[in-house]
Every structure is written in C-alpha cells, then in structure tokens.
C-alpha cells in the first residue's frame, strides 16, 4: 500500500469526539450538540372515571376520566392496592362500567398511559376524603400496632393505618393500641396518605379528647385566661381543654398587661414541653 493511499484513508476516516462542557467536539473543532435521552419523571395523579375495559389475565384496564379527556391505558403491577366498599379487595372484584378513583403514575410525555398504585370504588374514595376532614367516631373492631379497624353507627367498618407517630389518649392520659378493646368507643383524627389509605394521627376514647390532643400541638391557642401567677398562665381553651402555659423569659413585661378574664390568642414556642408538660408562650393578642 503506497503512502498516498494511506494519507487518503486518514483524511476521510471518522474523527474521534471529545467532550467540552457537555458538548461533543470533533478533532477538527466541529461542535456537535448532544440530544438528551432522559425521560421525564412520572407524576402521581388521582383520576376519577369509569372502567371501560379490564383484563385480569393481562393485568390491564382502560379508564375513561369523568372530565372527558382521553381514556387512559393502565398497567397493573403486583404491588397495586385495591379497596371496594371499604374492604381490602382484588382486581377481579372490579368490572367494566364501575365508577372508580385511581391513583396513577403517569409520564408527562405519555398522558394516555399509566401505572396503577391504588384503585377504589368512587363511593369509598369519597368517604375516605370525608373521613380525612372530620373526626371519625365509632366503636373498636380490632386494634394493633399497625391498624385500627372501627365500625361507625351505620355499620360500616373503616381501617386506619397506625404508625409510631400516632398519638393514643384514653381517660385523658397517654395510651397504647392494646388499651382500645373491641366494642369500646373510639374517635380518630386521620389524613389521607399518598397511597390513598387513612393514616391516624390521633386516637382517643372521645371526640373531644381527640380534638384537644390535636390542638395541643398547634402553634396558637385561643381561650380565656383564668389565672396568672408565678410566671405561668392558666388558659381555658375554646375546645374546653384547660392548660397551664409558661411565660417565656424576656416576655414578662408584655404579660404584665394581661389580666385574668381576657380572651386571647397565645403564640406558643416550638419545641418540647417542660418536665411538667407545660408549653411556653412569648406573646399574645386579644381575641375578642
């Protein structure tokens, strides 16, 4: 092979690329912009609609949203959760024409495809939302470290998830799940979790106790000052609870103006209560 032919091959051969600030640059100095192949992250959405197709064998269904947007082809993974009539269910408990609420993982670039997280009949989903915005009252069915099942006056059973953060109160004192026996009255404050289940934050033996316990953690208390002495206030809150509050260091001069009988908003400092269970206030405003 002669020298002229070798030189010709070197001139026409593809040149290697090098990186310069995230941009591909050829040996000849030509800039070649790379195209990103990263897929957009999936987002979780709740879609309410009607099942128009369902295959338990293929683990798929088609959902027509109530807002009349395009139907969604749904893939059902093994860890999907199902609820029907407030009871744990399975895919085969649902059928075509069912009105449902589905939590779906959907990529923005593929809005007509989704992966199922949870599926509930629409009536159960609506009841879950209602329960998450009010104090639930009923009687205990079962109580454990992970769940509390309770029955309402209309005979419906609702399951609440319990975590290490759930606060239990009975007879005005801290309690534990085993203190709530079957058929005993129970009141629950819960919120809807990302999975669609109800997560209990406060469980008590009465609705008043549940509300008071929840309010104990708030940053503002409203009520009437009934006593003031030794750097402390006694406040009868609007929810009926009576609490003793420590006046913060440096705030004494402000609170000298506060006399018993006044109704106020107390601002409470963040942090743990003192050894006697008293929270600390640093300022107040007149409530009415």
What does the alpha-carbon distance between residue 127 and residue 125 come to, in Å, rounded to a whole number? 5
What does the alpha-carbon distance between residue 142 and residue 150 come to, in Å, rounded to a whole number? 7
What does the alpha-carbon distance between residue 209 and residue 280 come to, in Å, rounded to a whole number? 22
Quick one: which of 93, 91, 96, 88 has its CA closest to 71?
96
Q: Specify the pLDDT at position 132.
A: 65
What does the alpha-carbon distance between residue 39 and residue 35 come to, in Å, rounded to a whole number? 12
8 A C-beta contact, residue 132 and residue 190 = yes
Q: What is the pLDDT of residues 211-269, one digit of tens each?
A: 999 999 899 999 999 999 999 999 999 999 999 999 999 998 999 989 999 999 999 99
What does the alpha-carbon distance between residue 161 and residue 188 come to, in Å, rounded to a whole number? 11
Global pTM value: 0.59
Q: Specify the pLDDT at position 128.
A: 72
* Cα-based distances in Å from 152 to 105, 167, 186: 33, 21, 10
Residues of the chain with pLDDT under 70: 1-37, 131-133, 194-196, 288
Q: Specify the pLDDT at position 7.
A: 47
Q: Which two tokens stand for residue 210?
A: 């549940």
Give the 3-state secondary structure of residue 62: strand
* 183 Ramachandran zone, left/alpha/beta (phi>0; psi -120 to 50): left
Quick one: which of 86, 62, 89 has its CA closest to 73?
62
Q: Specify the pLDDT at position 86.
A: 72
Say how many C-beta atoms besides its own lie within 10 A of residue 283's C-beta: 15
Sheet of 23-26, strand order: 17-20, 23-26, 31-32
Q: Specify the pLDDT at position 66.
A: 93
What does the alpha-carbon distance between residue 269 and residue 248 come to, in Å, rounded to a whole number? 9
What does the alpha-carbon distance between residue 201 and residue 221 come to, in Å, rounded to a whole number? 19
What does the alpha-carbon distance between residue 232 and residue 75 come to, in Å, rounded to a whole number? 60
Q: What is the pLDDT of residues 60-77, one digit of tens each?
A: 999 999 998 999 999 999
8 A C-beta contact, residue 281 and residue 248 = yes
Q: Could you give phi then psi for residue 210, rounded to 5 degrees?
A: -65, -45
């Amino acid at each position: 092979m002669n020298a002229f032919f070798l030189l010709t091959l070197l001139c026409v051969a593809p040149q290697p690329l090098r990186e310069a600030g995230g941009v591909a640059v050829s040996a000849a100095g030509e800039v070649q912009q790379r195209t990103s192949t990263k897929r957009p992250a999936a987002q979780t959405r709740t879609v309410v609609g009607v099942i128009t197709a369902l295959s338990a064998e293929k683990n798929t269904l088609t959902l027509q949203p109530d807002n009349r947007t395009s139907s969604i082809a749904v893939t059902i993974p093994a860890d999907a959760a199902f609820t029907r009539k407030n009871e744990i269910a399975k895919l085969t408990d649902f059928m075509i024409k069912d009105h449902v609420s589905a939590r779906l993982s959907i990529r923005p670039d593929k809005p007509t495809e989704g992966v199922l997280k949870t599926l509930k009949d629409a009536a159960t989903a609506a009841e879950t939302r209602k329960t998450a915005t009010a104090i639930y009252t009923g009687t205990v069915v079962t109580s454990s470290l992970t769940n509390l099942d309770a029955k309402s006056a209309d005979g419906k059973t609702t399951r609440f998830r319990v975590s290490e953060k759930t606060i239990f109160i009975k007879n005005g004192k801290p309690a534990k799940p085993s203190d709530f026996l079957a058929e005993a009255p129970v009141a629950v404050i819960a919120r809807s979790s990302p999975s669609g289940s109800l997560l209990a934050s406060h469980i008590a033996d009465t609705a008043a106790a549940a509300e008071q316990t929840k309010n104990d953690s708030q940053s503002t208390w409203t009520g009437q000052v009934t006593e003031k002495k030794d750097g402390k206030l006694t406040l009868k809150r609007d929810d009926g609870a009576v609490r003793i509050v420590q006046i913060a260091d440096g705030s004494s001069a402000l609170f000298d103006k506060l006399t018993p009988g006044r109704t106020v908003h107390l601002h409470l400092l963040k942090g743990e209560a003192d050894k006697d269970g008293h929270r600390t206030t640093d300022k107040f405003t007149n409530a009415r």
